[in-house]
Chains A and B, each alone.
Chain A
Amino acid sequence: MGASEAVTDPSSLYQTDYMANDYDYDTDVVHTVRNALASVQNGESDNYDELVGVMHVKEFSNTDAVAQLASVLDALSGSVACIDIIHHRKILSAIFGMKLWDHGDVVMDALVGLIVSLAATSGKYLDSCLNMLVSNFLPPPSVIKRHSDTRVINKKREVLSRVHAALLKISVLVPLAPSRLLPMLAHKMPKIHKKDQSVVIYVENLLKLENSSIGQVGGSRILMMVMERLRDLDLEIGWDDIPQDDSSRGMFDMELEDPVEGIMDEGDELPVGSLKEDTSGENIVSELLDKLMVTSFDHLESCQNAGRLDQVFENLFESFENYILNTYKSKFTQFLMFHACSLDPESCGVKFASKLMDIFLSSNKPRATRMSAVAYLASYLARGKFLPVSVVASMLKRLVDECADYCRTCNDDIRPEAHRIFYSGCQAIMYVLCFRMRSILDVPRFRSQLIPLESILMHKLNPLMVCLPSIVAEFLRQAKAGGLFIVSDSFIFDDLLESELSRAFGGCERLDTFFPFDPILLKMSNSAISPNFNYWTMVRATYDEEDDDDDAEIIVNGDEESDEDNDGDLDYAMNKMSITPKHSFKNNMERDRLMKMPSRIRPSTSPESL
């Protein structure tokens, strides 16, 4: 067929020769397309306009038009060198405006092939191609609403597999593409005020990129983006409903309720519907955060399966240090670290503790950062069920030695504000021992490492008076029962959570009541965390008598299930605490209340709003 005939009636060409020899047909289409592109330079735009018209398919059910579109796209990818960025602006904007989600398999493959050709063949189109692919991370808004529909899930898999394959191909052919991609990823992230499923899909895509070869270049930046978004959502969940100063009102009861309410099953009896009305805005945010946390947990698990969790952990810790460590209002995001550590206790678990310890001991870091690091360390050592006692003991030894050194060399100022780091260190030691006293004292070597503790606590700086009263009371009770040492002065605090002195050392950030790994209140995240989490109810304190052990075994075995059975049944849970068959504790209500560990002030995602 002569070139001139093809040009005058391109549409007939496609239809009559559609079933003909594929190779000849393709070259004909290529010639037609190349001629149409070239004709623009000569001032004749009819064929070119027709070409552009083919790109804008209106009815997707018109199979001929769709087939025509696919063949034109294929022809274009073979003629990339003929495309000029200025003269062919219309067709380029048509290409970059196309959404993979609107099209079927054949057109998707052709379009993706064209994008890869364009990106690889000329540097001028690289940015637009990458932009187009990133904007295909998210389906159109109408599809997002039906995100749990099976057809949508299948379509999502088809589109995203092609998008990611294209990004990888481009990054092979153009080695510097990943560094140009990263700013685009940040730019195109759904804005914080959009509270629909789109941010979850986008983060899934980001994490998938992190897992790929592009992650080798940009993995740390991607994790920072994700961590930042998690933190921003976390901070939106407020504490408004809880009266902050009511220290006598059941602050101690919170810990008891937390594991119970957090692990609510699907078939739960609580009237969830009515509860939602109160704080519906924040409910959306907490659900969104929950989904994002679970997505991130899944990603960490896949990193562990691929054997790269160690390397990812370094980047993860960097993001944690930048975004979370100094954000005292962060409630749940830190559990990302907890989960990563639980997946690989020997390596990541130990690394996390040592890095926190290094921050605490480093005199270069700001004071608030050091105090926050030791609070994280204490909460982590107490709550990490997967941590071997030896790790806890070695960390405790370092803390004890550091505090002992400080006692020897400190100045004479007796104001709590002057020794804040020291007090936070002491409080950390006491907090960890409240959870781990029995297991530490059981091993003579670890027990002997705690000997300097007595002199620290008896020092003129008087940490027992300054640190949080509830913790001090519980610690002393356990220390006495365990035979660690006996404190001659009696410390009766009337179950105060906090005192003037603790507030003084805690400062305006309230680092004296900072327990970052207190039970997580997001439903789905909690189910992921709870198998590795040390609830206070599960802790065997030193004053629990010997013959309780049998009962303790029965109750504590297979604990998560038994916890879940106790939805909202406080009395049963209370009974679980007092595990002696003779119920000797039950009579002493005062003692029961003191036995419970203080939690942070509960956020509004409490049973009332969950």
Chain B
Amino acid sequence: MEGLKLSDAELMVYIHPSQSRNVYKAICRQLSSLLFQYDETFDGVLLAYDLTVGSKQAKILAGLAPYFGVRVNTKLLLFDPKPNSLVEGKILKVSLESIHVVVLGFSAAVITDVDIREEFKYRMKDGEGRFVSRSDKGHVLKGGTMLRLQVQSFDAEVMHIAGSLLAANTGCVKWLEKKNGEALHMDRDRKRRKLAYTQVGET
């Protein structure tokens, strides 16, 4: 899945003197306040962090409350789905007009009917809506399916992805991987057969 990146960052975290009893906890709390929010500096939504304190020396700021700045080396896991990148998520709800997906458990993604390629036809089965591919009945998009979709836009404020299933490499992940696997398998087979025929041909 694209859109996830691991960044190294050197940060300066300013701690209030009242927190000086447990500095590590205070740093974690500061960084945790940035979780699940889009940050321009990091260029992405912070999902997780791992930190090591750079140096035990901290510079005290002059001012009303003497905050002190601690140097911290962090590894940041960032989520930044650029347009036309591919992400994967679980389908929550399928209706005639839209498919609702949740990506990584926190980001809501929606694919509206205009962005679903012609190949897929809406069907009702057992009271539940689903999209079935016209070319391969086995390719089904219904509630609970893991879906690979292409990102059209990402609203960082509410973590909302507008997605599309127009590209051919989008759809049910399991089905796509199976198809890829078969294609590879067929390629290998074809090469082997070609080799065998040429050998036969030569003799």
Interface string of B75-111 (1 = CB under 8 A from A): 0000000000000000011001110101001111010
- Which of A78, A172, A175 has most B Cβ within 10 Å? A175
Q: Do residues B107 and A175 form an inter-chain contact, with CB atoms below 8 A? A: yes
B36 in complex: contacting residue of A80, A81, A121, A176, CB < 8 Å: A176
Distance in Å: Cβ of B12 to nearest Cβ of chain A: 27
Q: Do residues A121 and B98 form an inter-chain contact, with CB atoms below 8 A? A: yes
B110 in complex: contacting residue of A121, A176, A180, CB < 8 Å: A121
Q: A172 CA to B143 CA in the complex, in Å? A: 13
Interface string of B9-53 (1 = CB under 8 A from A): 000000000000000000000000000100000000000000000
Known pairs A173-B92, A176-B36, A176-B108; list 9 more (Cβ under 8 Å): A81-B97, A117-B97, A120-B93, A120-B110, A173-B100, A173-B102, A174-B158, A175-B106, A175-B108
Q: Do residues B162 and A175 form an inter-chain contact, with CB atoms below 8 A? A: no
List A residues 283-328 near B (Cβ within 8 Å).
none
Chain A contacts of B105 at CB under 8 A? 175
B112 in complex: contacting residue of A121, A126, A174, A180, CB < 8 Å: A121
Of the A-B pairs whose beta carbons lie under 8 Å apart in the complex, a sample of 6, sorted by A's number, is A122-B110, A123-B159, A126-B160, A175-B106, A176-B158, A180-B158
Q: A180 CA to B157 CA in the complex, in Å? A: 10
- Which of A117, A126, A127, A174 has most B Cβ within 10 Å? A174
Known A-B contacts A78-B96, A81-B97, A81-B113; A173 and B108 likewise in contact (beta carbons under 8 Å): yes
Q: A586 CA to B93 CA in the complex, in Å? A: 77
Distance in Å: Cβ of B193 to nearest Cβ of chain A: 49
B114 interface hit (Cβ, 8 Å): yes
Closest to B161 in A: A123
Q: Do residues A81 and B114 form an inter-chain contact, with CB atoms below 8 A? A: yes
Closest to B157 in A: A123
Q: Do residues A124 and B36 form an inter-chain contact, with CB atoms below 8 A? A: no
Distance in Å: Cβ of A50 to nearest Cβ of chain B: 23
Chain A contacts of B36 at CB under 8 A? 176, 179
Chain A contacts of B106 at CB under 8 A? 175-176
Chain A contacts of B110 at CB under 8 A? 120-122
Distance in Å: Cβ of B100 to nearest Cβ of chain A: 5
Q: A266 CA to B157 CA in the complex, in Å? A: 55
Chain A contacts of B126 at CB under 8 A? none
Q: Do residues B162 and A122 form an inter-chain contact, with CB atoms below 8 A? A: yes
Distance in Å: Cβ of B143 to nearest Cβ of chain A: 11
B136 interface hit (Cβ, 8 Å): no
Q: Do residues B97 and A78 form an inter-chain contact, with CB atoms below 8 A? A: yes
Interface bin, chain A: 10 to 19
Interface string of A133-176 (1 = CB under 8 A from B): 00000000000000000000000000000000000000011111
Q: A588 CA to B105 CA in the complex, in Å? A: 74
Closest to B97 in A: A78
Chain A contacts of B102 at CB under 8 A? 173, 175
Q: Do residues A124 and B155 form an inter-chain contact, with CB atoms below 8 A? A: yes
Distance in Å: Cβ of B91 to nearest Cβ of chain A: 11
A79 interface hit (Cβ, 8 Å): yes
Chain A contacts of B112 at CB under 8 A? 80-81, 121
Q: A174 CA to B92 CA in the complex, in Å? A: 10
Known A-B contacts A122-B160, A126-B158, A126-B160; A174 and B108 likewise in contact (beta carbons under 8 Å): yes
A81 in complex: contacting residue of B98, B100, B157, B160, CB < 8 Å: B98
Distance in Å: Cβ of A113 to nearest Cβ of chain B: 10
Q: Do residues A123 and B160 form an inter-chain contact, with CB atoms below 8 A? A: yes
Give me the interface of B with A, judged by CB distance under 8 Å.
Answer: 36, 92-93, 96-98, 100, 102, 105-108, 110, 112-114, 155, 157-160, 162
What DSSP secondary structure best describes chain A's contact surface? helix
List A residues 96-139 near B (Cβ within 8 Å).
117, 120-124, 126-127
Q: A322 CA to B118 CA in the complex, in Å? A: 58
Chain A contacts of B108 at CB under 8 A? 120, 123, 173-176
Q: A176 CA to B112 CA in the complex, in Å? A: 20
Pairs A-B, 6 closest by C-beta atoms: A123-B160, A123-B158, A123-B155, A81-B112, A174-B108, A175-B106
Closest to B114 in A: A81
Closest to A30 in B: B97
Known A-B contacts A122-B110, A175-B106, A175-B108; A79 and B97 likewise in contact (beta carbons under 8 Å): yes
Chain B contacts of A174 at CB under 8 A? 108, 158, 160
Q: A174 CA to B36 CA in the complex, in Å? A: 14
Q: A180 CA to B97 CA in the complex, in Å? A: 26
Distance in Å: Cβ of B35 to nearest Cβ of chain A: 11
Distance in Å: Cβ of A25 to nearest Cβ of chain B: 15
Distance in Å: Cβ of B132 to nearest Cβ of chain A: 19
Chain B contacts of A123 at CB under 8 A? 108, 155, 157-160
Q: A591 CA to B162 CA in the complex, in Å? A: 81
Chain B contacts of A175 at CB under 8 A? 102, 105-108
Chain B contacts of A80 at CB under 8 A? 97-98, 112
Chain B contacts of A127 at CB under 8 A? 158
Q: A179 CA to B114 CA in the complex, in Å? A: 30
Chain B contacts of A172 at CB under 8 A? 92
Q: Do residues B100 and A120 form an inter-chain contact, with CB atoms below 8 A? A: yes
Distance in Å: Cβ of B61 to nearest Cβ of chain A: 25
Chain A contacts of B114 at CB under 8 A? 81
Q: Do residues A173 and B158 form an inter-chain contact, with CB atoms below 8 A? A: no
Closest to B21 in A: A364
Interface string of A351-392 (1 = CB under 8 A from B): 000000000000000000000000000000000000000000
Distance in Å: Cβ of A30 to nearest Cβ of chain B: 9
Q: A2 CA to B57 CA in the complex, in Å? A: 77
Chain A contacts of B97 at CB under 8 A? 78-81, 117
Distance in Å: Cβ of A512 to nearest Cβ of chain B: 30
Chain A contacts of B96 at CB under 8 A? 78
Q: Do residues B93 and A173 form an inter-chain contact, with CB atoms below 8 A? A: yes
Q: A102 CA to B145 CA in the complex, in Å? A: 40
Q: A180 CA to B108 CA in the complex, in Å? A: 14
Q: A330 CA to B151 CA in the complex, in Å? A: 55
Distance in Å: Cβ of B77 to nearest Cβ of chain A: 17
Q: A445 CA to B92 CA in the complex, in Å? A: 61
Distance in Å: Cβ of B54 to nearest Cβ of chain A: 29
Q: A377 CA to B154 CA in the complex, in Å? A: 53
Chain A contacts of B157 at CB under 8 A? 123
Chain B contacts of A179 at CB under 8 A? 36
Q: A117 CA to B113 CA in the complex, in Å? A: 13
Q: A121 CA to B93 CA in the complex, in Å? A: 11
Q: A124 CA to B157 CA in the complex, in Å? A: 9
Closest to B100 in A: A173
Closest to A175 in B: B106
Distance in Å: Cβ of B98 to nearest Cβ of chain A: 6
List A residues 167-191 near B (Cβ within 8 Å).
172-176, 179-180
Q: A80 CA to B114 CA in the complex, in Å? A: 12
Closest to B96 in A: A78
